[in-house]
Amino acid sequence: MAISNIRYGEGVTKEIGMDLQNLGARRVCLMTDKNLSKLPPVNAVLNSLVKYGINFQMYDNVRVEPTDQSFLDAIQFAKNGEFDAYVAVGGGSVIDTCKAANLYAASPSSEFLDYVNAPIGKGKPVTVPLKPLIAVPTTSGTGSETTGVAIFDFKELKVKTGIASRAIKPTLGIIDPLHTLSMPERIVANSGFDVLCHALESYTALPYNQRRPCPSNPINRPAYQGSNPVSDVWALHALRVVAKYLKRAIRNPEDREARANMHLASAFAGIGFGNAGVHLCHGMSYPISGLVKTYKPKDYNVDHSLVPHGLSVVLTSPAVFAFTAQIDPERHLEAAEILGADIRTARIKDAGLILADTLRKFLFDLNVDDGLAAIGYSKADIPALVKGTLPQRVVLPEDEPKLHSTS
């Protein structure tokens, strides 16, 4: 089990120039997206880079919900720049794009599909050394600053897939709650739903000691090992924070305590699922996002249709946990209690229904779209959604060795 370095505190972003000096960086690639490039988080980074005399180039063409093509554009920029360090300022889209750029720039003879997860790509292990990457998350959801995963839409197949290797995990995540103060309401909500599902899914994922067959050599153990005593600590803690603070963080942009706690919970849940894996909500979310028709969410300033990742994940969650509870009803009931259910008289066989009802109430209070129909899908889309879900075993705790690991 490998865990990331994080630094937390209001204003700690201003130290990033010193961090890059300490790393001996001489040519830094700063990645962000067009909206963020004019907002306070990027300004804070720019000020620090200038103050400490760091030579950098900025790439602000990251696409929100990136595609294979948008990854390739960023990779080309990274190859041209011959950078010796990377800084990613943004949500999961930016951080994931920067991980891919760092990887392929360090491995210039690789084909794009070499490192993409099988069966879509070849899922080759990463053996080249990467440059340091400092991630500065500006949303409170993906936990990408703590994980070795980079997700994108594979346009040709209309499916989300990704790259997964501990090698692409950021060197340092800078968790600065100041950056959450400029987040619009629906971005707080949708990214918070991602935290909620990371916590619930990793806590209810297949236990690490029930994965079969075990790799014969520990070096072949996957990053997504299944739920385990370490990931459980993070998952439960993150779930408690979501239960206590998510509503406050959504409703009041001035509630610094709530927004700070959600920002940290995002990283905590990331450490949890980054070592345990997730399951059905995430597996089904990729076609829900990838097959988007005309849905345009409030508060997202983009020129294309989009189902935000957190929304695509949470929409199926009541149905998912009603179904998965049979495997471990105690954990499902425990999760329901943390989210506010009174379980004193609950029967263990009702655990799934209780958690599903608790989630429906929780989401209803937060004005979540009412199911797949509300974002433009009909019954006729189900075969395509199923077809897009089946290749997503990669998010599950893995049966087969595929990722290199040090522990």
Q: How far is the CB of 205 from its own copies (least distance, A)?
A: 16
Per DSSP (E only), the strands in 62-191 are: 85-90, 133-137, 149-154, 159-164, 172-175
Q: At what angle do helices 317-324 and 329-338 cross, to 10 degrees?
A: 140
Cβ atoms of 194 and 140 within 8 Å: the answer is no
Nearer to its own copies, 109 or 217 (CB): 217
The nearest distance, CB 4 to its own copies, in angstroms, is: 8
Candidates 19, 145, 176, 194; binder of its own copies (CB under 8 A) is: 19
Tokens representing residue 335 in the block: 């999760």
281 near its own copies, rule: CB under 8 A: no
Residue 407 binding its own copies, by CB under 8 A = yes
Q: What is the CA radius of gyration of the chain?
A: 20
**Part of the chain binding its own copies (CB under 8 A), chosen from 62-70, 215-223, 250-258, 280-288:** 215-223
CA dist list (Å): 290 to 67, 86, 113, 226 = 10, 28, 18, 26
**Residues 62/110, Cβ–Cβ less than 8 Å:** no
Asked if residue 337 binds its own copies (CB under 8 A), the reply is: no
Q: Which of 195, 246, 264, 395 binds its own copies (CB under 8 A)?
A: 264
Under rule CB under 8 A, residue 86 binds its own copies: no
Question: By C-beta, is 78 or 276 nearer to its own copies?
Answer: 276
DSSP 207: B
Q: Does 341 bind its own copies (CB under 8 A)?
A: no
- Verify binding: residue 273, its own copies, rule CB under 8 A: no
- Closest separation between CB of residue 1 and its own copies, Å? 6
Q: 116: which strand partners?
A: 163
The SS3 call for residue 325 is: coil
**What amino acid occupies position 235?**
A
Work out whether 374 is an interface residue with its own copies (CB under 8 A): no
Please tell me the distance from the alpha carbon of residue 168 to that of residue 132, in angstroms, as a whole number.
9
- Closer residue to its own copies, CB minimum distance, 8 or 112: 8
Angle at 239 between CA 358 and CA 362, to 5 degrees: 25
Binding range to its own copies, per CB under 8 A, among 33-41, 233-241, 338-346, 380-388: 233-241
Nearer CB in complex with its own copies: 213/383: 213
Residue 174 φ then ψ, to 5°: -105, 110
- Assess 233 for contact with its own copies (CB under 8 A): yes
Q: Is 303 helix (H, G, I), strand (E, B) or coil?
A: coil
Look up residue 371 and give its DSSP letter: S
The continuous run of DSSP H or E covering 47 comes out as: helix 40-51
350 binds its own copies (CB under 8 A): no
Give me the residues paired with residue 207 across strands: 227
- Answer for which of 53, 129, 213, 217 binds its own copies (CB under 8 A) is 217
Q: Is 14 in the site for its own copies (CB under 8 A)?
A: no
Name which position in 50, 128, 219, 382 contacts its own copies (CB under 8 A).
219
Q: How far apart are CA 361 and CA 73, in angstroms?
A: 42
Interface residue with its own copies, options 116, 172, 276, 341 (CB under 8 A): 172
Cβ distance to its own copies smaller for residue 172 or 242: 172
Applying CB under 8 A, does 229 fall inside the site for its own copies? yes
1 forms part of the interface with its own copies (CB under 8 A)? yes
**CB of 360: closest distance to its own copies in angstroms?**
29
**Shortest reach from residue 328's CB to its own copies, in Å:** 17
Helix ranges (H only) for 68-156 are 68-81, 92-105
Does residue 11 touch its own copies according to CB under 8 A? no
Say how many residues touch its own copies, by CB under 8 A: 28
- Report how far residue 382's alpha carbon sits from residue 83's, in angstroms, rounded to the nearest whole number: 45
Number of Cβ within a 10 Å radius of residue 377: 21
Interacting residues with its own copies (CB under 8 A): 1-9, 15, 18-19, 22, 172, 209, 217-219, 228-230, 233-234, 237, 264, 268, 406-407
